[in-house]
Amino acid sequence: SQQGEEDPQALSIQEGENATMNCSYKTSINNLQWYRQNSGRGLVHLILIRSNEREKHSGRLRVTLDTSKKSSSLLITASRAADTASYFCATDGIGSRLTFGEGTQLTVNP
Amino acid sequence: NAGVMQNPRHLVRRRGQEARLRCSPMKGHSHVYWYRQLPEEGLKFMVYLQKENIIDESGMPKERFSAEFPKEGPSILRIQQVVRGDSAAYFCASSVWPQGGVYNEQFFGPGTRLTVL
């Protein structure tokens, strides 16, 4: 598996439900970030969590980080059809580059 | 305050031609990163540049690919003699001084989608 691997690869839920996506990584990190990408578009930065933080909130987003397990989760509460997108985690422990996972494709059905 | 600009947004080339992708970082940002995204995959790091310097090119293919970030003007990713496998979305990101890697928010451009026929 690669650094920053997300699961599930695809997730389909109904509007109003919560969506949880997970990310695992292999090496030490400074920060972990979550990005969103709509089909055929660029990346939008959602939230950054530092290696010394365990949980962070931003609106309907909640991110957790467990450095002992080298994993993170992104929770989107009360999902909307407009949340349909691909979600990527990215770590920045190797110099200044970001290492991305393969992404979770989230579909929120109205 | 304009974000990261990339052009062209879409580029079609025939095998053997050259592709030039441009990236203008956000105002005040002197660090530029190029990433490649193949269909249905995540982004893969290619190269990290500061003005007039290549800092890390460990993700760049050894042949046909080059990048520059001159003192004036945009950063350029150049692909010579393109092949079908080069078809991908190429994203540029910029940041301010990373401060030793403690905090490194990178702002992404909309990408250039390269299609090689």
Determine the residue of chain B that is closest to A45 in CA distance. B107
Q: What is the pLDDT of residue B97?
A: 67
Q: What is the pLDDT of residue A93?
A: 65
Q: What is the pLDDT of residue A21?
A: 95
Residues 67-86 of B with CB under 8 A from A: none
The CA distance from A66 to A13, in Å, is: 26
Determine the residue of chain A that is closest to B96 in CA distance. A96
| pLDDT, average across residues A76-98 | 88
Cα dihedral A30, A42, A18, A54 in deg (nearest 10): 10
Please indicate if any CB of chain A lies within 8 Å of the CB of B23. Answer: no
Please indicate if any CB of chain A lies within 8 Å of the CB of B29. Answer: no
pLDDT(A4) > 70: no
Q: How confident is the model at residue A2 (pLDDT cuts 50, 70, 90)?
A: very low
Please indicate if any CB of chain A lies within 8 Å of the CB of B48. Answer: yes
Question: For testing the chain A interface, which of B104, B107, B115 should be mutated: the one with the most A CBs within 10 Å?
Answer: B104
> How many other C-beta atoms can be found within 10 angstroms of the C-beta atom of residue A22?
16
B48 to A31: CB separation less than 8 angstroms, yes or no = no
Please indicate if any CB of chain B lies within 8 Å of the CB of A32. Answer: no
| Cβ B57 vs Cβ A96: under 8 Å | no
Q: Which amino acid does the sequence have at A63?
A: V
| pLDDT, tens only, A18-48 | 999 999 998 888 889 999 999 878 899 899 9
Q: How confident is the model at residue A102 (pLDDT cuts 50, 70, 90)?
A: confident
Instruction: Give the length of chain B.
Output: 117
Which chain B residues are Cβ-neighbours of A103 within 8 angstroms? 41-42
Q: What is the pLDDT of residue B96?
A: 82
A41 to B33: CB separation less than 8 angstroms, yes or no = no
In chain A, pLDDT over 70 holds for what percent of residues? 94
| pLDDT, tens only, B23-54 | 999 988 889 999 999 987 889 999 999 988 99
- How far is residue A85 from each of residues A1, A20, A106, measured CA to CA in Å? 23, 13, 5
Which chain B residues are Cβ-neighbours of A50 within 8 angstroms? 103
- DSSP letter string, A26-91: -S--SEEEEEEE-TTS-EEEEEEEETT-SEEEETTEEEEEETTTTEEEEEE-S--GGG-EEEEEEE
Q: Average pLDDT, whole number, for chain A? A: 89
DSSP state of B101: G
| pLDDT, tens only, B56-115 | 999 999 999 999 999 999 999 999 999 999 999 999 999 886 554 556 678 899 999 999
